[in-house]
Chain A
Amino acid sequence: MVSTRHRRSGIVPPHILERLAQHAPDDIKQCVLETQRANEALQRMRLTAVTALPEAADELRRTIYDAGHTQDLPGRMVRREDEAAADDREVNEAYDDLGRTWRFYKEVFDRNSIDNHGLALDGSVHYGRHYDNAFWNGREMVFGDGDGRIFRPFTRSLDVVAHELTHGVTEATAGLAYQDQSGALNESVSDVFGVMTAQYAAGQTAAEADWLIGAELLTDQVHGAALRSLARPGTAYDDPTLGRDPQPATMAHYVETRQDNGGVHINSGIPNHAFYRAAMAAGGYSWETVGPVWYATLNDHRLTENADFAQFAGVTLANAREHAGRELADIVSQAWSDVGVTPAEV
């Protein structure tokens, strides 16, 4: 059910080059022949490259590095695929949870790693000093140890590890721009696939799941349950140091702000909640019901890099209609309506 994006090799299709080579004036013929030769050489290079790349293998390949409390990446290599567990909790958590996330994408969506071509998974732990963050830098996933007062090490939550890996998946597919509504969709996709990975690993139905992001990161000192809640956006924490969870659940409370790239981690509450509502209404396992609809949307060429909520909703609805049937389409439609988003025609 999933459409994939195709990259063409060369701008002029080979059959047009062939026709030009036969019928064009001599000087153009010469150009065309050179282009054809260049294309063929390029093709051979690509084939060699693909054969030579171990990434082409359909297998999990993880490497975990220790940044040694510096901000130098990737750091010292400490555990590779199939190596025994390290004497370091964060190293092993990153290793295990990158594996769980890889398996989720492989087993549920038949996606071969971040780029669907078996990209090796690199992660660095012990990044920075008292570092309260985890991120994807375009090449690898990076995890801080937390400050110990508010935050525990950022490898504690599977949904956080999956959130970061999914930033790589989004870059490799829809490429949603990290600003305003498309940025909030980028963030939401990471939260949605983050919680789905955790639900899949725990074998939980939508009704059984807690729908929280980063619940395991907060220390007992914090007044709060998690970083975000897809079930009840805006209720994850209310704490003297962190402030209050600013996420809206519906368009009526959309936050206009310059900060955080237009509130990408704030307004993501709206599409997050739409996914939650659809998954709850559908019942059963989220990755079997609305999960595939969201995944198809991420891979759908009708979704543009600067998509707004309405366009994203329109593409989810189109995919639900085209692949999942009337009943699920109605559920998806109702979920968007509940959060105040009117799906665009796509």
Chain B
Amino acid sequence: MAKPGALPPDSRFRLTREGGLVAAPGLMRAREFAWGDCQPGRQQQRLAELVDVARERATARPGRGDQRFFRLELFAGDDLTTPTEQLTIDETDAPPRLVALWEHGIPSLDG
């Protein structure tokens, strides 16, 4: 597990929403982006904060009884096969900013 706030500049991310009664592949809507896609300043700062909150709220056993959950995967560089870290957060514990990032992408970090 990485240190709080430590996000290497070559970090890449994948954010999905999973589980739920329906659990259809089309509803996961994976969102992929890189640290470098975020503007230095507010966007990068908020992303770093969001990762910290996600680390605090992550649970190893999400999704029980059809509850939906978010999965935030962190990758180093171009290797998108094996995440260096993955965080699963129950929907009921997910910070609104994480939900917004999944729904609207990087621009939501300005809101």
Contact = CB atoms under 8 A, between A and B. Distances in A.
Interface of A: 71, 132-138, 151, 154, 160, 163-164, 167-168, 171, 177-179, 214, 227, 237, 239-246, 258-261, 264-266
A154 B22 CA distance: 10
Nearest to A164: B66
A178 B90 CA distance: 14
A265 B26 contact: no
Interface in B4-44: 16, 18-28
Given A164-B65, A242-B27, 9 more contacts: A136-B64, A136-B65, A164-B21, A179-B61, A227-B24, A242-B22, A259-B18, A261-B19, A265-B20
A260 B67 contact: no
18 contacts: A71-B92, A132-B20, A135-B20, A135-B68, A137-B67, A137-B92, A138-B64, A163-B21, A164-B21, A171-B65, A178-B65, A214-B22, A242-B22, A242-B24, A243-B26, A246-B25, A258-B86, A259-B28
Given A133-B68, A259-B28, A259-B71, A160 B21 contact: yes
B63 A227 contact: no
Contact of A244 (B22, B23, B25, B71): B25
A201 to B, nearest CB: 19
Contact of A261 (B26, B63, B86, B92): B63
A176 to B, nearest CB: 11
B15 to A, nearest CB: 13
A134 B20 CA distance: 7
A164 B66 CA distance: 8
Nearest to B66: A135
A180 to B, nearest CB: 12
A90 to B, nearest CB: 16
A256 to B, nearest CB: 14
A168 B86 CA distance: 28
Contact of A260 (B18, B65, B92): B18
A74 to B, nearest CB: 13
Closest 8 CB pairs of A and B: A243-B26, A136-B65, A265-B23, A243-B25, A135-B66, A242-B24, A167-B65, A133-B20
Nearest to B65: A136
Contacts of B20: 132-133, 135, 265
Contact of A241 (B16, B23, B26, B68): B26
A216 to B, nearest CB: 13
Contacts of B61: 177-179
Contacts of B68: 133, 135
B66 A136 contact: yes
